[in-house]
Amino acid sequence: MKVIDLTHTIKTGMPVFPGTEPPKLDAASTFEKDGFRETLLTMYSHTGTHMDAPAHVREDGITLDKFGAYKFVDKAIVVDCNDLSEGDTIDISYINKYKGIIEDAEFVLFKTGWDKYWDTEKYYGKFPVISEEVADYLISSNKKGIGLDVISIEAIESEDLPMHHKVLKNNLVIIENLCNLDQIGSDLFTFCALPLKFINSDGASVRAVAILD
């Protein structure tokens, strides 16, 4: 069994969505003072590699803590969109390339290669986003969720977040800021993205991994 970490490390100064603050990691206890070490971690619920709940954009949306743990683990496929350029859209042709296998995946993860810009200003730029047709496919196929190696499923300047509303109102989850998708290949694998469980969570950081047989 091979386990691939798909998660960015949480640290001070890391990329965060514009308008939010980066996490703070402060020493709460130290070996010198207390004989043990403990860290006070202060961060937004959508920090780093994280999961959006329906409650992120909908007042009547379910929160992550209300989902059973089964919601966060299942078969997945990586859709290779690495040929896309800045400002391009992930259209249905990318889904069609995986017909015959994508039907058996509960999570569809889109590899754009944008994670190579992590920790740079370009990460916030014109990253590829999914089309409405792709969102419709994911919804009609009753997938559990969608994941990407970018900061959002839609353009960063979007104010109304129509794609978030479209996907989340159908109780899919969205995993953003994935990394290392280039290490997986094109076969089905087990995807696990377990969010930190806290009450009324509109979103939460996850430790996302791919488990290869």
pLDDT digits (tens, 9 = 90+) for 102-136: 999 999 999 999 999 999 999 999 999 999 999 99
Total Cβ atoms within 10 A of residue 171: 16
Q: How far, in Å, CA of 56 to CA of 62, rounded?
A: 9
Q: At which residue do the structure tokens 């249905």 appear?
A: 92
pLDDT of residue 127: 96
pLDDT of residue 153: 96
Among candidates 213, 208, 135, 142, which has minimal Cα distance to 178?
Answer: 208
b or e along 147-161 (b: 16 or more beta carbons within 10 Å of the residue's beta carbon)? bbbbbbbbeeeeeeb
pLDDT of residue 129: 96
- What digits encode the pLDDT tens for the residues 132-162? 999 999 999 999 999 999 999 999 998 899 9
Among candidates 183, 182, 113, which has minimal Cα distance to 150?
Answer: 113
How far is Cα of residue 40 from the mean position of the Cα atoms in its chain?
24
pLDDT of residue 29: 97
pLDDT of residue 160: 92
Q: Are 168 and 134 in contact (CB under 8 A)?
A: no
pLDDT of residue 204: 98
pLDDT of residue 144: 99
pTM for the complete prediction? 0.96
pLDDT of residue 213 exceeding 90, the answer is no
Residue 51 confidence class, pLDDT cut points 50, 70, 90: very high
Q: Are 95 and 103 in contact (CB under 8 A)?
A: no
- What digits encode the pLDDT tens for the residues 57-101? 999 999 999 999 999 999 999 999 999 999 999 999 999 999 999
Q: Which domains does the chain have, with CATH numbers?
A: 2-9+45-212 (3.50.30.50)
- What digits encode the pLDDT tens for the residues 14-38? 999 998 999 999 999 999 999 999 9
pLDDT of residue 159: 84
